[in-house]
Amino acid sequence: MTNYYVSAIGADSNPGTQTKPWKKCPGMTGWTGKGKIVPGDVIYFKNTDVWTGTVANYGTFLEVLAGVTYHGKTWGAQGAKATITGACTGDAGDLVTLYVDHPTIPTVFDGFKLTPNKNATGLSFDWGLSSRMTNQVGAVKRIQNCLVDGIGQTSPGANCYGFNISPYDGKTVKNVEIIDNIVKNCQRDGIYLYPGNESLPDLVSDVIVRGNECYLNGRSSTSTGSGIKLKNHVLRALVEYNYVHDNYGGGIAFDSAPGVAVGPEDCTIRYNLVMNGKSMSNKWNSAFSFASDNGNMSLSAWIYGNIFWSPAFENGILLTSDIGNMPISLKIYNNIIQGGNGPAFLNTSNNINAMIDLSNNILLANLGQNVFYDEHNIVTTHKSNIYWRADGGNLVVINNGQTTYKASNLADWETTAFSTNPNFKNANILPTGFLANPWRPNTDGLAILSGNAIGHGTNLGSPYDGSINSILRGTVWDIGAYET
């Protein structure tokens, strides 16, 4: 293993030492040196410096090489990050791209600031030229402690994102970790797991998305843009402890394209804060959305311990009518789900192959709104939920609006349900991120102070026995994301 150093005032003819650094490095556009890096090497970028490049159409400015570690914050001033910036004036391109991985040595990209401009994306896997794409199924590929600011992405119709995992031509990308990053202001989606829009077996699998903050993404008027989106065949993704807030299109979304019948499968969405979305026309406008462009998407997911709290959006959780009749399996457990200008839970799909279990959730709606609306009665199991709206009225609506349940007859719908105020500690003090060791929201305003949410949940067993405040649920379970 060899350490190399890169500074904007260096020279590519230098040996790449700390006292005689390179100006660029192998894999970067414009590199003129003769040095080579091999798997296991470490490259340190001066964290107060800026590298500016032009991104060719479907090209990249920096190709991250397999098995190499890139550090952007370690060398230099405390708290600074090396900046990589540049514009793509073609259809699309990336500031940073990973085309190849190593079978046994991790590839790490740590501590950079990326400012993509015009039609550029911050960082992608296998995106761009199909001739460069490979199956990346070896050692872990870790993106961590980075900042992507897409405010310079100025073309509403361009495919420009924050982080994008997008294999095409039947390729697979697996074993990726996207950890502790900030992604903001992107035209489309902030973090996008996006195997190709085609009938070939493109696949993204075994990805961890943890501890990220995603906000003000989805500005484009031509995209549904979300903070975090899983589209097409994404397998075994784990999305946890992310703070997703103030995005325009939605918080977290599942989707599939025409010609792609398989949507996200065996994915876990747990212990996330999805907060305070910004309503915008031509968007799904929900904290969590399940939608499809092809009208026939299969999917399966476990969604538990989250807080979906976006009063400016229409819905907390939305299933759209275009999902179709492929098999759907959803377990929605122990969440706090707030509706805004619509129900906390809204389904307009008539999928006859859906298996949806809604248990131990706190569902709330604004004044004048139904709490739960299932147009075609596809929620197969529901138990131990709290349905609450302060002004009374309809709590549960099914059968295309023909059957309604209020507090007075809610037990006819769900014998273990409650219609009482969940008694949050202080709903005006909302969390704005997480504290670690142990993981928990940085304020406890949505923790339960007293009432029926305490001790009246159904014991669902492992692995659902954790909580957003890292208290293990025992034999007696609370309702909602917290455990007392």
| Nearest-5° Cα angle at 259, 348 to 236 | 75
pLDDT digits (tens, 9 = 90+) for 64-99: 999 999 999 999 999 999 999 999 988 899 999 999
Q: Is 333 a member of any domain?
A: yes
What pLDDT, on the 0 to 100 scale, is given for residue 23?
98
**Residues 77, 124: Cα–Cα separation, whole Å:** 28
Q: Is 454 a member of any domain?
A: no
What pLDDT, on the 0 to 100 scale, is given for residue 225?
86
Q: Which helix (H) or strand (E) holds 412?
A: helix 410-413
Q: What's the whole-number mean pLDDT along residues 148-158?
A: 87
**Residues 50, 9: Cα–Cα separation, whole Å:** 10
Q: Is 271 a member of any domain?
A: yes
**Residues 458, 476: Cα–Cα separation, whole Å:** 8
Percent of the residues in the chain that have a pLDDT greater than 70, as a whole number: 98
Q: Is 293 a member of any domain?
A: yes
**Residues 121, 429: Cα–Cα separation, whole Å:** 35
Which comes out higher in pLDDT, residue 51 or 321? 51
**Residues 52, 24: Cα–Cα separation, whole Å:** 11
364 has a pLDDT exceeding 70: yes
What pLDDT, on the 0 to 100 scale, is given for residue 140?
98
Q: Which of 121, 129, 136 is nearest to 192 (CA)?
A: 121
What pLDDT, on the 0 to 100 scale, is given for residue 297?
79
In angstroms, the first-to-last Cα distance of the chain is 49
**Number of compact structural domains in the chain:** 1
Q: Compute the Cα dihedral for 140, 124, 25, 57 and give only its sign.
A: positive
**Residues 317, 252: Cα–Cα separation, whole Å:** 10
Phi, psi angle pair for 184, to nearest 5°: -145, 155
**Residues 238, 292: Cα–Cα separation, whole Å:** 21
Q: What is the DSSP code string of 25-43? A: -TTBTT--------TT-EE
Q: Is 222 a member of any domain?
A: yes
| Joined tokens for residue 196 | 């190709």
**Residues 205, 265: Cα–Cα separation, whole Å:** 9
pLDDT digits (tens, 9 = 90+) for 369-418: 999 999 989 999 999 999 999 998 999 999 989 999 999 999 999 999 99
Q: How far is CA 118 from CA 20, 60, 183, 227, 244, in A?
A: 34, 14, 16, 19, 24
Which comes out higher in pLDDT, residue 177 or 399? 177
Q: Find the domain containing 79 and state its range.
A: 3-441
Q: Is 170 a member of any domain?
A: yes
189 has a pLDDT exceeding 70: yes
Asked if 85 and 51 count as a contact pair (C-beta separation under 8 A), the reply is: yes
Q: Is 448 a member of any domain?
A: no
Q: Which helix (H) or strand (E) holds 413?
A: helix 410-413
**Exposure b/e, 341-380, CB count within 10 A at least 16 = b:** ebbbbbbbbebeebebbbbbbbbbbbeebbbbbbbbebbe
Alpha-helical regions (H) of 420-479: none
3-class DSSP state of 362: strand
**Residues 135, 99: Cα–Cα separation, whole Å:** 9
What pLDDT, on the 0 to 100 scale, is given for residue 282?
65
Q: Is 460 a member of any domain?
A: no
Q: How confident is the model at residue 295 (pLDDT cuts 50, 70, 90)?
A: low
pLDDT digits (tens, 9 = 90+) for 324-362: 778 899 999 999 999 888 899 988 888 888 899 999 999
24 has a pLDDT exceeding 80: yes
Which comes out higher in pLDDT, residue 235 or 132? 235
Asked if 191 and 212 count as a contact pair (C-beta separation under 8 A), the reply is: yes
Average pLDDT, the chain: 93
| Joined tokens for residue 1 | 């293993």
**Residues 235, 442: Cα–Cα separation, whole Å:** 31
Which comes out higher in pLDDT, residue 318 or 156? 318
- Domain holding 223: CATH number? 2.160.20.10
Cβ-based neighbours of 250, under 8 Å, separated by 6 or more:
218, 224, 225, 226, 227, 277, 283, 284, 285, 286, 287, 288, 289, 313
What pLDDT, on the 0 to 100 scale, is given for residue 294?
67
55 has a pLDDT exceeding 70: yes
Q: What is the DSSP code string of 192-227? A: EE---SSSS--EEEEEEEES-EEES----TTS---S
469 has a pLDDT exceeding 90: yes
